[in-house]
Amino acid sequence: MRKSLITAVAMGLVLATASTAFAATRMLETGSTLLYPLVNLWVATYQKEHRNVQITTQGTGSGTGISEAIAGVAQIGASDAYMSNGQMKQHRMLNIPLAISAQQINYNIPGLNNVHLNLSGPVLAGIYSGRITYWNDNAIKALNRAYASRLPHKVIIPIHRSDGSGDTFIFSQYLSFSTPSWKNGPAYGTTISWPTVQTAVGANGNPGMLQTCKATPYSIAYIGVSFLNETNKAGLGYARLKNRAGRFVLPTTQTVNAAAATLVSRTPRDERISLVFAPGANSYPIINYEYAIVNPKQANPATAKELREFLNWAIDGNGGQKPYYLDQVHFRPLPASIVKLSRSQIASIS
Amino acid sequence: MTSIERGRRSGVSPEDPLVKGLARAWGLQRPWAQLIFKLGTGTTAVLSALVVVLICVFLTVFAWPAIRFNGWNILTGTIWNIGNQYGSGSITHNGYSAEPGAQFGGLVFIFGTLATATVAMIAAVPLAFLVSVALVYRVPARIRPLANALVELMAGVPSVVYGLWGMVVLVPWIGTKLAPAATAHLGFLPIFHGDAGSGNGLLAASTIIALMVIPIMVATIRDVINAQATSVYEASMALGSTSWQAVTRAVLPSVRNGMIAAIMVAFGRALGETMAVLMVCGAAINTYPQNIFQSVNTLAAVIVSQLESALTDSSGMAQRSLAELAVVLFAITVVLNMLARGILRGADRSQEAQ
């Protein structure tokens, strides 16, 4: 009995030394809940081919991702929004795009969920600021001549995120860029000071948005495209949105790619740019880069090396950008010129 | 005879042979053991008080820039705006700066905290009293242990479970059935007047809180009735009163202090409940509910829901203002606790005067 115990302890010690001898490089990815499912898919495959790295993933929210990357707790902070100038002034971090995401405007109007209503930035701004309160408001009718008689005289219930969110960021950018009164009022950010609307509801996370919209007839919500399967299953309608060129477009592979194509040439070297309300006749107006927020100065060279390797794999056409990964969450791959910019940013990690 | 005297009479005295025997068996009468015991209990007593003080001091120190920046606006303002993070420039007040457009008014959340807790207590107090009376006098002795266990189980259910139930069952029911009917037919009453909303709001949050605090109150009130009012009830019945009269005229007055203590513990819990409330309150911002169905927000819920974006505020003022909200919540709890102690002391004195 005692002998076997000693053997067990000895074996444990041997194993412990062995594992330190081949110490895996540990990395933590934390942040955006929109990116979380994708990073999980990536990491599962990546670790099979790279047994020397151990990557832990967490879905904690973009704000936490950024602040933990700054603090050095996490090596990769996942964020739906790029860092503001104010933040960059205090902490020079890299904002590296990993994929392109989009957002749909969902609604729950019994009888009309099977059609795509036309909505525009100014009309959405009107709904979210309480100027447009009924579904059969003239402003909505004017955009939907074909369904004008079917729009019900029911109070609109606008749902917004109660937590800080990249989805709020790009939605409020669409309103700001298309509607001057919104730009001078609530403006945009990961959380904004929502105008007073008596029927408005705040929901927590994309799952909360989905649940509230599903459970509340005559509500409207903005939900990340990675929830498209769920919103379709819930029977919610989603809108054609008016783009900068004045056309109404659905979020499809073509319209998202078209929007990205018009803006990639303008992406600066630090890659902090909004893709919202892009020009182009066929551009879907609410798309964005999903970012890895990374400190260019890592704790040790080994971590820096593994981090560069993983990020380069993630943005590679034969790696993380394969349709196998991106299609599952309805993200679009990065265009070649953006991959090039990202590679040069990744190379600066030391 | 006050409750305290009654407690002393039934309490264990140090002269009790059993206590003496135990103390001898544990060697507690040796001087060094006495010393260790005194030191141990003394330190833990001081520590527990110190922790509360330290939390309060830490919060206040951390929130200090916000206290200076916000002034009275945190208590009187209705607009909560962390400012335009992506704008340019900043605003400065009393030497502390925040992002442009920032203002941190907490009145909406203070109102929501007090309103949800109060509505919850209005529903929960009579229910808890009646459940306690039923458990003591009405439920047959055979199934009483089971009934007691079920009530205690209610207290053990994690709050997020109540929240989830509220989100998928209660809120849709209020939003699609109760609220439209009530606003349509009872709209002449101020609490039902106006838009029905979505079901997320004051009533949903208060219902969830009530469900959570009822078992806490029942546990206390039931024990107080058991300890103090069994004979009162029987005597009252023997004098020919109905059971309703016995409960309202005899039992209720004799357990008043226990009731007040139970209410205060429950009220504290109601003020601070966070996750379940956040899931059903509608997270109102910049707006008060116009009726009992519309969205509200509480201090605890807003601290959780706004923290994430406050972390991205490069001026740091949003985080510090959330800490200031925590100080406000702390202060409300302390004030209510002191009020309750005052009531209890007053009640004791008036009983002695009789």
Q: What CATH superfamily classification does A103-266 receive?
A: Periplasmic binding protein-like II (3.40.190.10)
Which chain A positions have a beta carbon within 8 Å of B175's beta carbon? 215-216
Is B287 within 8 Å of chain A by CB? yes
Digit-coded pLDDT (tens) for B266-311: 999 999 999 999 999 999 999 999 999 999 999 999 999 998 888 8
Closest CA in chain A for residue B175: A216
Mean pLDDT of chain B: 88
Shortest distance, CA A40 to any CA of chain B (angstroms): 22
For A59, phi then psi, to 5°, come to: -100, 100
* Radius of gyration for chain B, computed over Cα atoms and rounded to the nearest angstrom: 25
Residue A22: its pLDDT value, please? 53
A79/A64 Cα distance (integer angstroms): 9
Q: Is A181 exposed, middle or buried (0-12, 13-18, 19+ CB in 10 A)?
A: middle
Residues of chain B with Cβ-Cβ distance to A187 below 8 Å are 84, 86-87, 101
From chain A, the residues in CB contact with B314 under 8 A are: 84, 86-87, 89-90
DSSP, residue by residue, A262-306: HHHTT--TT-----TT--STT--S-EEEEEEEE-SS-SSHHHHHH
Tell me which fold the domain B107-305 belongs to.
Answer: MetI-like fold (1.10.3720)
Q: Is B81 helix (H, G, I), strand (E, B) or coil?
A: strand
Structure tokens at B28: 């507690």
Closest-CA residue to A88 (of B308, B88, B322): B88
B305 touches chain A (CB under 8 A): yes
* Per-position b or e across A101-129, b if 16+ CB within 10 A of its CB: bbbbbbbbbeebbeebbbbbbbbbbbbbb
Interface membership of B167 toward A (CB under 8 Å):
yes
Its pTM stands at 0.85
d(CA A308, CA A311): 5
Nearest to A206 by CA among A98, A76, A39, A59: A59
Phi/psi region, residue B295 (left: phi>0; alpha: psi -120 to 50; beta: rest), is beta
Residues in a beta bridge with B104 = B80
Whole-angstrom distance, CA of residue A91 vs CA of residue A295: 9
> Can you tell me the distance from the alpha carbon of B77 to that of B67, in angstroms, rounded to the nearest whole number?
13
| CA distance linking residue A290 with residue A304, whole number of Å | 21
**What mean pLDDT value characterizes chain A?**
90
Give pLDDT, residue B5.
47
Residues 6+ apart with CB under 8 A from B299: B106, B109, B110, B112, B113, B271, B325, B326, B328, B329, B332
Query: A37-79 pLDDT, tens per residue?
Result: 899 999 999 999 998 999 999 988 888 899 899 989 999 999 9
Q: How many helices (H) and strands (E) does chain A have?
A: 14, 12
Domain A27-101+288-347 in CATH: superfamily?
Answer: Periplasmic binding protein-like II (3.40.190.10)
pLDDT at B107: 96
**Residue A260 contacts by C-beta under 8 Å, 6 or more apart in sequence?**
A100, A275, A278, A287, A332, A335
Cα–Cα distance, B208 to B200 (Å, whole number)? 11
- Residues B295 and B200: beta-carbon distance below 8 Å: yes
What phi, psi does B154 have (nearest 5°)? Answer: -55, -35
**Four-CA torsion B298, B300, B306, B308, nearest 10 degrees:** -160
Burial of residue B74 (CB within 10 Å: 0-12, 13-18, 19+) is buried
Q: Where are the domains of chain B?
A: 3-98, 107-305
Nearest chain A CA: its distance from B317 CA (Å):
13
DSSP B177: I
Q: Could you tell me which of B306, B312, B26 has the C-alpha nearest to residue A194?
A: B306
Q: Which of B273, B214, B285 lies closest to A160 in space, CA to CA? A: B285
In chain A the first and final C-alpha atoms are separated, in Å, by 52
pLDDT tens, residue by residue, A251-306: 999 999 999 999 888 899 999 999 999 999 999 999 999 999 999 999 999 999 99
Domain boundaries, chain A: 27-101+288-347, 103-266
Tally of CB atoms within 10 A around B150 = 12
The per-residue pLDDT for range B59-114, each reduced to its tens digit, is 999 999 999 999 999 999 999 999 888 888 889 999 899 988 899 999 999 999 99
Name which of A33-37, A100-104, A291-295 the model is least confident about.
A33-37
Asked if residues A44 and A328 have their Cβ atoms less than 8 Å apart, the reply is no
Does the distance separating the beta carbons of A189 and B314 come in below 8 Å?
Answer: no
Q: Which site among B80, B86, B177 would you substitute to test the A interface, given the most A Cβ atoms closer than 10 Å to its Cβ?
A: B86
Q: Check B197 against A217: CB less than 8 A apart.
A: no
The residue with tokens 């260790």 is B36
ipTM of the complex: 0.82
Residue range A108-145, pLDDT digits in tens = 999 999 999 999 999 999 999 999 999 999 999 999 99
**A69–chain B Cβ distance below 8 A for any pair:** no
